[in-house]
Amino acid sequence: MTSAHNRVAVLHGVNFDILDRRDPAVYGGLSLAELEHKVEGWARALGLGAIFFQTNSEGEFCEYLHRVPELADAAVVNAGAWTHYSRAIADALDVTGLPAVEVHLSDVESRDEWRRLSVFDGLVLAKISGKGPDGYREALELLAGKLGTGPA
């Protein structure tokens, strides 16, 4: 049974509600529900509880980040396009003070040049990109190690 002291908030940003309608060659073809189901299983196997949040509103994303320290001990953040320009979200992430990992389904480094910039640089333990859903498993493993519930 997972305690409240080893929960990971998994935050998805803009357009993740229509993930299964986006280019499957880039985003993998999974729905958000299917992705979250996979993430939940990986988290459980690592002794973590996963809680999920998705919004298309930048303000709501910031407000949720303000509450994350009351809900979880770490975060996995896939803010979508906001990753590349939202200083407001970066500031909200910084204020959490929690260990966090940035994840992207696609390989942002090999796509448009503007996608290579991350406003989360220096705020996250790692940036995992281009590994599809498995990037979330890698992020959870890193956080489990940091929280002392799984491999380092």
DSSP for 98-145, please give it: --EEEEESS-GGGS-GGGG--TTTTTSSEEEESSTTHHHHHHHHHHHH
Give the separation between CA 15 and CA 111, rounded to whole angstroms. 18
Q: Given strand 49-54, what is the order of strands in its sheet?
A: 49-54, 7-12, 74-78, 100-104, 126-129
By C-alpha distance, which of 117, 113, 53 is closest to 86? 117
27 is catalytic: yes
Catalytic residue among 12, 27, 64, 136: 27
104 is catalytic: yes
Give the separation between CA 71 and CA 100, rounded to whole angstroms. 14
> What are the residue numbers of the active site?
27, 104
